[in-house]
Amino acid sequence: MKDSGHIALTLPSGAVASTDERGRKSLRRAWNQLPRCQRNLIILGVTAFCVTVLLCLTGDQLIAASIKDVEEKAIASPYHMRRELPLANPHHHPDKEEDLTAAAVVTPAAALPNQEPADDKFDGGNVAYGEVNSAENVVRVTDTAAVALPVLQDKKADNEDGIDILNNVEEPIERLPIEQLDEREQLNEAIRNPLHLGGISIKRHLKKIQPLLAKGQHFHGATNERQSAVVAAFKHSWAGYQKYAWGHDNLKPVSQFSHEWFGLGLTIVDALDTMYIMGLDEEFKEARDWVDLSLHFATKRDVNLFEVTIRVLGGLLSAYHLSGDTMFLTKAAELGNRLLPAFLSPSGIPYSDVNLGDLSAHSPKWSPDSSTSEITTIQLEFRDLSRSTNISIYENVVNKVNEKVHELDKTDGLVPIFINANTGTFRNYATISLGARGDSYYEYLLKQWIQTGRNDNDNLILDYMQAIDGVLTKLMRRTPREHWVYIGELINGKDFKPKMDHLTCYLPGTLILGHQNGMPDSHLILARDLLDTCYQTYMQHPTHLAPEISYFALTDKEEHDIYVKPNDAHNLLRPEFIESLYYFYAITGNRTYQDMGWTIFQAFETHAKVNAGYTSLGNVRNAQNTRLRDLMESFWLSETLKYFYLLFSDNRKEIDLDQWVFNSEGHPLPVYPPKT
Ligand code: DMJ
């Protein structure tokens, strides 16, 4: 046999122990002496052995490699395992079992998209909030170690029987039922696990409470020309937003660009229920899918608790109740959890700013105080979240705010516009106003009382009645010539100033709603008089649009009963007066209020409509030079156009005010029966 034909063999020890030339020769000799058939048999056996060994090794390694690959992909791209759900028909209310079962099969990895790496959170040393917000003024959940839990717990929670699937050990999860935790622990628990409700994933929790979930409502769309005109205005606004600002907070309709505030797609979320009520199915579906797939809260960015509550939490909850789509409630619950750090103040009065990503909260950058209207205009939404999810913590924290504010000293029921979250007290000598920073405190006293079933002797309604008495005695005045009624302010809490924000024009609507619910006739008289004055703030100007702030004459020596300072002459497309007209029409059925509204709607059409939407104006006092300001705020879609649409409805009970209560951003939420 030639050398080149040698086969390297490994035979049992002994025979191959020698590596010298002699050994190799004798081995070759022995091999050559074997009969051919025996040599073939040995070769065959050895080959079969080698192939078997090779196959076993490769198989294991291949399986291990593919598992590793899947795991790495799951970490890098948590969406890749997400099951795509079919698009929901907004007017079809899917069988909840089917809907939620689909939701429940979403893998643990799919529950992670908003989760940031644990060690990335609560970087206590890495926060610069400006002068006022030193490290001591920023609150966070203190137990840093606990922050690493959510990812693990999500996986545990999704395993039906509470088995630790990570370690593959059948060990029950030791967790107290959420109701057995004390309130502070419940608060911490919700903050640590924003993707959880009651200790399990939000979706699993909602599945558990399925019989309690909303069924959804049906709306038929516009039924007359005025309503159709409003729908056209909505579509025009929406088209501009879609084209130039999709996914951003607001549209700049003049420069045809986007405007960012909190990075939460405010216009989309704020407009959801308006589209649903107007029967704009296609637009609603598109917005719904954006919320489902693209609305994420875990960005490290400060947001304002009040604004995000009334616009985003309120918008999601309203969309959920109207459509019956639990995706909205899932989002609302996560957002509610992420807003809870605001309540970790020493007094329980919430801080104004929350970081939804790192779950910290602090006072505004410009002041140590929160605005009174802001901390008292979150209750409808947080309570509704509790009632909708059957988890009490949200309602508990805002009830505590009610109690605290109720206990504080007031001026005939009227409140200063600033309050300190650390001390829980009003700022001394702060202005008293039913305009900016004070307005919706009064609105929510009444509306919360309605929301909770109108209990007699409830502090909310007692405080409301006392406050309206204070308005009548301390803030209400008449102009010298026309006797127009207006609501002024108390500077330093005592000096009267004849200044009224457009914001105050919500009050006639709230007053007539209160009267409808049993408040005295004096409230109705004030409501009517003030509605007339608010109308005048529009009609006195050639544009038929109201300025942001109006002043009123104190004596007849002044030239006009109503006057406007140049810096206050802007119009931001605000809704308050249209909102009040809506309540007057819905409660009385008198179509005069529709006609008043139609005049103003046409004024917006004439002066605020531009190619890409509707814009705020710099000056309502000159129809030839309105100075376009270039912002379409989300409340144009959530409130102004919604109230116009409902005002022009042939059915004044298109939204039944016995069953629904509008939050401060125009989002209807259900009225609940009184608790027994
Ligand atoms: C809205 O965001 C709400 O109505 C809020 O309560 C006050 N201001 C704006 C609209 O003007």
Does ligand 1 have an atom closer than 6 angstroms to the CB of 330? Answer: no
Mean pLDDT of 220-224: 97
The reported pLDDT for the residue numbered 27 is 60
Per DSSP, the residues of 590-641 read: -THHHHHHHHHHHHHHHHTEETTEE--BS-SS-TT---B---B-THIIIIIH
On the question of pLDDT at 18 being above 90, the answer is: no
Looking at the CA of residue 572, tell me the nearest atom of ligand 1: 11
Per-residue confidence band for 502, with pLDDT thresholds at 50, 70 and 90:
very high
φ, ψ for residue 185, nearest 5 deg: -65, -40
Picking from 10-24, 525-539, 567-581, which range would have the lowest pLDDT averaged per residue?
10-24
Neighbouring residues of 105: CB distance < 8 A, sequence distance ≥ 6? 83
The reported pLDDT for the residue numbered 578 is 99
Query: Tens of pLDDT along 407-463?
Result: 999 999 999 999 999 999 999 999 999 999 999 999 999 999 999 999 999 999 999
**Ligand 1 centroid, distance to 182 Cα (angstroms):** 35
CA dihedral sign of residues 17, 18, 24, 29: negative
**Ligand 1 centroid, distance to 306 Cα (angstroms):** 10
Neighbouring residues of 585: CB distance < 8 A, sequence distance ≥ 6? 591, 593, 594, 597, 647, 652
- Ligand 1 atom 10: the closest Cα is on which residue? 574
The upper half-sphere exposure of residue 294, i.e. CA atoms within 13 Å in the direction of its Cβ, equals 14
CA distances from 361 to 129, 133, 146, 426 (A): 10, 10, 18, 20
Q: Are strands 476-478 and 418-420 parallel, antiparallel or unpaired?
A: unpaired
The structure tokens 């000096």 sit at 495
**Ligand 1 centroid, distance to 635 Cα (angstroms):** 7
- Ligand 1 atom 1: the closest Cα is on which residue? 665
Per-residue confidence band for 82, with pLDDT thresholds at 50, 70 and 90:
very low
Supply the CATH classification number for the domain 183-670.
1.50.10.10
Q: Which residue has the higher pLDDT, 104 or 597?
A: 597
**Ligand 1 centroid, distance to 506 Cα (angstroms):** 9
362 sits in which H/E element: strand 360-362
Does ligand 1 have an atom closer than 6 angstroms to the CB of 635? Answer: yes
Does ligand 1 have an atom closer than 6 angstroms to the CB of 664? Answer: yes
**Ligand 1 centroid, distance to 202 Cα (angstroms):** 30
The reported pLDDT for the residue numbered 50 is 56
Looking at the CA of residue 579, tell me the nearest atom of ligand 1: 4
On the question of pLDDT at 74 being above 80, the answer is: no
CA distance 481 to 346: 51
Per-residue confidence band for 155, with pLDDT thresholds at 50, 70 and 90:
very low
The reported pLDDT for the residue numbered 365 is 86
Q: Mean pLDDT score of the chain, rounded to an integer?
A: 83
**Residue 289, Cβ neighbours under 10 Å: how many?**
14
Domain definitions of the chain by residue range: 183-670
CA distance 108 to 587: 49
Looking at the CA of residue 439, tell me the nearest atom of ligand 1: 6
**Ligand 1 centroid, distance to 369 Cα (angstroms):** 20
The CA-based dihedral angle spanning residues 249, 253, 258, 262, taken in that order and rounded to the nearest 10 degrees: -20
**Ligand 1 centroid, distance to 420 Cα (angstroms):** 22
Does ligand 1 have an atom closer than 6 angstroms to the CB of 633? Answer: no
On the question of pLDDT at 335 being above 70, the answer is: yes
The upper half-sphere exposure of residue 178, i.e. CA atoms within 13 Å in the direction of its Cβ, equals 19
The reported pLDDT for the residue numbered 147 is 33
The reported pLDDT for the residue numbered 135 is 41
Residue to probe by mutation, ligand 1, list 437, 664, 667, most atoms within 8 Å of CB: 664
Does ligand 1 have an atom closer than 6 angstroms to the CB of 99? Answer: no
CA distance 268 to 296: 13
> What's the alpha-carbon Rg for the chain, to the nearest Å?
33
**Ligand 1 centroid, distance to 374 Cα (angstroms):** 11
Q: Which of 18-27, 134-143, 159-168, 541-550 has the highest mean pLDDT?
A: 541-550
Residue to probe by mutation, ligand 1, list 635, 638, 643, most atoms within 8 Å of CB: 635
Per-residue confidence band for 500, with pLDDT thresholds at 50, 70 and 90:
very high
* Residue 340 CA, distance from chain mean position: 12
DSSP code at position 110:
G
Q: 513, 465 in Cβ contact below 8 A?
A: no
Does ligand 1 have an atom closer than 6 angstroms to the CB of 574? Answer: yes
Residues that are catalytic:
307, 439, 548, 576
Per-residue confidence band for 182, with pLDDT thresholds at 50, 70 and 90:
confident
Neighbouring residues of 57: CB distance < 8 A, sequence distance ≥ 6? none
3-class SS of residue 419: strand
Q: Are strands 476-478 and 485-487 parallel, antiparallel or unpaired?
A: antiparallel
Looking at the CA of residue 503, tell me the nearest atom of ligand 1: 11
Counted residue by residue, the chain has a size of 676
The reported pLDDT for the residue numbered 140 is 72
Does ligand 1 have an atom closer than 6 angstroms to the CB of 440? Answer: yes
3-class SS of residue 361: strand
The reported pLDDT for the residue numbered 28 is 65
Residue to probe by mutation, ligand 1, list 267, 665, 667, most atoms within 8 Å of CB: 665
- Ligand 1 atom 2: the closest Cα is on which residue? 665
Buried-state track 497-530, b at ≥16 Cβ within 10 A, e below 16 = ebbbbbbbbbbbbbbbbbbbeebeeebbebbebb
Looking at the CA of residue 373, tell me the nearest atom of ligand 1: 6
**AA letter at 398:** V
CA distances from 98 to 93, 145, 659 (A): 11, 38, 28
For residue 424, what are its two tokens? 């829980």
3-class SS of residue 169: strand
CA distance 521 to 516: 10
616 is in an annotated binding site: no
On the question of pLDDT at 97 being above 50, the answer is: no
The reported pLDDT for the residue numbered 366 is 85
The structure tokens 């650390």 sit at 422
CA distances from 584 to 241, 519, 537 (A): 31, 15, 18
CA distance 17 to 1: 22
Does ligand 1 have an atom closer than 6 angstroms to the CB of 665? Answer: yes
The reported pLDDT for the residue numbered 24 is 58
Q: What percent of the chain has pLDDT over 90?
A: 71
Q: Which residue has the higher pLDDT, 265 or 134?
A: 265
The reported pLDDT for the residue numbered 152 is 31
Mean pLDDT of 258-284: 98
On the question of pLDDT at 151 being above 50, the answer is: no
Neighbouring residues of 423: CB distance < 8 A, sequence distance ≥ 6? 346, 347
The reported pLDDT for the residue numbered 89 is 35
On the question of pLDDT at 88 being above 50, the answer is: no
On the question of pLDDT at 349 being above 90, the answer is: yes
Q: Which residue has the higher pLDDT, 180 or 539?
A: 539
Q: What percent of the chain has pLDDT over 70?
A: 75
State in Å, rounded, how far the first CA of the chain is from the last one: 103
**Residue 362, Cβ neighbours under 10 Å: how many?**
28
CA distance 412 to 473: 9
CA distance 173 to 194: 19
Looking at the CA of residue 576, tell me the nearest atom of ligand 1: 11
3-class SS of residue 645: helix
Mean pLDDT of 309-328: 98
Query: Tens of pLDDT along 101-130?
Result: 333 222 223 333 333 233 222 222 222 222
CA distance 185 to 182: 5
Residue to probe by mutation, ligand 1, list 440, 571, 579, most atoms within 8 Å of CB: 440
Does ligand 1 have an atom closer than 6 angstroms to the CB of 575? Answer: yes
Looking at the CA of residue 307, tell me the nearest atom of ligand 1: 2
The reported pLDDT for the residue numbered 66 is 41
The reported pLDDT for the residue numbered 176 is 62
On the question of pLDDT at 90 being above 90, the answer is: no
Per-residue confidence band for 465, with pLDDT thresholds at 50, 70 and 90:
very high
- Ligand 1 atom 6: the closest Cα is on which residue? 664
Neighbouring residues of 532: CB distance < 8 A, sequence distance ≥ 6? 484, 485
